[in-house]
């Protein structure tokens, strides 16, 4: 499958499926955060999961610090579909800062240092400032949300994320009346991220949402998955998850959140504007210029030969988010 880049000879490689032990190292800082009070932000259910965390490592999805959350009560936040296997979700990733091969992030993201970490909030807000990760973790109760994730390339997963609605942070920083968009800027450190040496994208990676999209309760500020803190290759230590949009809209390893009046330029939109629109809502009626979006392949279901699923409008979240786009031409605003 080809992905547009500045190098016309660039070919999207074949995926791998092995997660090395090194990916799960260097998490003592997270354990210190838990002991320092971040665990208190989780709702009841922590004790049971913490007990399970003491079981042999083979009984857990990974070897990261536990980060459980209560089952979310947000409408649409919990699908009844079977979750993707942890191994698949943590070894088949798009994170070009660590390489374009699907298996590259799991092999190479051990170089990412997630502590200390902070997120700067700036732009059209009444309370700009820098938030330490410890403070973000304690800002709201942690929830577990079982979200579908649909990639523009045609594959999908179902992942139990842990975090809270982004609106919890947005309300604290008090957006001004002139703020219409929220831009997310991710870490860009060549010493930690070997993929930055390539010219695939204009670094740092940036993404953005309309303010009302960012305020929607389904938009998640995520710190973990499968009851543990995020693996590096999945966007540690903090990312967003916007389940009704294609996966590349959910920025990973966020270091800055900026509120603007004008629509920001985003990474893939800058790289190939005719292929990647600003909205990037999952819409089976709008094909990518080089392939159909009408069907998808669920990772972990009998490999490449599995029967494809029909793609759902807004990735199955139409009842929750369709009103955000009332009256819009979704083929023009793709």
Q: pLDDT tens digits for 294-334?
A: 999 999 886 667 788 999 999 999 999 999 999 999 999 99
Is the Cβ–Cβ distance between 35 and 107 less than 8 Å?
Answer: no
Q: What's the start-to-end Cα distance of the chain, in Å? A: 21
Token readout for 16 is 């791998």
As a whole-number percent, the residues of the chain with pLDDT over 90 amount to: 78
3-state class of 327 per DSSP? coil
The answer to whether residue 97 is domain-embedded is yes
The answer to whether residue 332 is domain-embedded is no
The answer to whether residue 13 is domain-embedded is no
Q: Is 181 exposed, middle or buried (0-12, 13-18, 19+ CB in 10 A)?
A: buried
pLDDT score of 17 = 34
Phi-psi region of 267 (alpha: psi -120 to 50; beta: other; left: phi over 0): alpha
The answer to whether residue 287 is domain-embedded is no
Is the Cβ–Cβ distance between 318 and 218 less than 8 Å?
Answer: no
Is the Cβ–Cβ distance between 121 and 48 less than 8 Å?
Answer: no
Number of domains in the chain: 1
State the CATH number of the domain containing residue 108.
3.90.420.10
Determine phi and psi for 17, rounding to 5 degrees: -145, 25
3-state class of 156 per DSSP? strand
pLDDT score of 304 = 63
pLDDT score of 61 = 67
The answer to whether residue 278 is domain-embedded is no
The answer to whether residue 246 is domain-embedded is yes
pLDDT greater than 80 at residue 135: yes
For residue 165, the enclosing domain spans: 21-264
Cis peptide leading into 204, omega within 30 of 0? yes
- How far is Cα 110 from Cα 229, in angstroms, rounded to an integer? 14
Is the Cβ–Cβ distance between 178 and 222 less than 8 Å?
Answer: no
The answer to whether residue 15 is domain-embedded is no
pLDDT score of 10 = 36
Is the Cβ–Cβ distance between 89 and 225 less than 8 Å?
Answer: yes
Supply the DSSP symbol for 74: S
Nearest-5° angle of CA 68, CA 99, CA 158?
35
Nearest-5° angle of CA 13, CA 15, CA 21?
125
As a whole-number percent, the residues of the chain with pLDDT over 70 amount to: 80
Listed residue (245, 257, 65) closest to 148, CA to CA: 245
The answer to whether residue 282 is domain-embedded is no
pLDDT score of 148 = 97
Supply the DSSP symbol for 287: -
- pLDDT confidence bin for 73, thresholds 50/70/90: very high
pLDDT score of 301 = 84
Residue 161, Cβ neighbours under 10 Å: how many? 26
pLDDT digits (tens, 9 = 90+) for 200-232: 999 999 999 999 999 999 999 999 999 999 999
């Amino acid at each position: 499958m080809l992905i547009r880049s500045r190098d016309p000879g660039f070919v999207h490689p074949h995926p791998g499926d092995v997660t090395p032990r090194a990916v799960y190292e260097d998490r003592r800082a997270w354990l210190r955060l838990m002991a320092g009070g971040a665990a208190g932000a989780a709702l009841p259910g922590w004790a049971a999961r913490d007990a399970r965390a003491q079981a042999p490592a083979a009984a857990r999805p990974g070897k990261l610090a536990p980060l459980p959350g209560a089952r979310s009560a947000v409408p649409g936040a919990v699908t009844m579909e079977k979750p993707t296997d942890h191994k698949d979700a943590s070894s088949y990733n798009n994170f070009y800062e660590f390489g374009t091969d699907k298996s590259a992030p799991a092999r190479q993201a051990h170089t990412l240092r997630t502590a200390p970490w902070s997120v700067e909030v700036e732009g059209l807000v009444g309370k700009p400032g820098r938030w330490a990760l410890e403070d973000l973790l304690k800002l709201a109760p942690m929830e577990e949300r079982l979200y579908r994730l649909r990639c523009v390339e045609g594959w999908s997963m179902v992942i139990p994320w842990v975090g809270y609605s982004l609106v919890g942070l947005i309300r604290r920083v008090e957006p001004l009346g002139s703020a219409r968009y929220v831009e997310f800027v991710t870490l860009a450190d060549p010493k930690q991220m070997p993929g930055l040496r390539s010219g695939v994208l204009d670094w740092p990676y940036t993404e953005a949402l309309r303010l009302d999209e960012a305020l929607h309760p389904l938009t998640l500020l995520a710190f973990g998955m499968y009851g543990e803190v995020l693996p590096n290759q999945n966007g540690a230590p903090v990312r967003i998850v916007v389940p009704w949009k294609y996966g590349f809209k959910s920025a990973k390893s966020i270091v800055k959140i900026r509120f603007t009046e004008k629509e920001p330029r985003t990474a893939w939109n800058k790289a190939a504007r005719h292929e990647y629109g600003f909205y990037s809502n999952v819409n089976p009626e709008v094909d990518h210029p080089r392939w159909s979006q009408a069907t998808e392949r669920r990772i972990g279901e009998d490999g490449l030969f599995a029967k494809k699923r029909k793609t759902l409008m807004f990735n199955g979240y139409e009842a929750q988010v369709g009103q955000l786009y009332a009256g819009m031409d979704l083929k023009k605003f793709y």
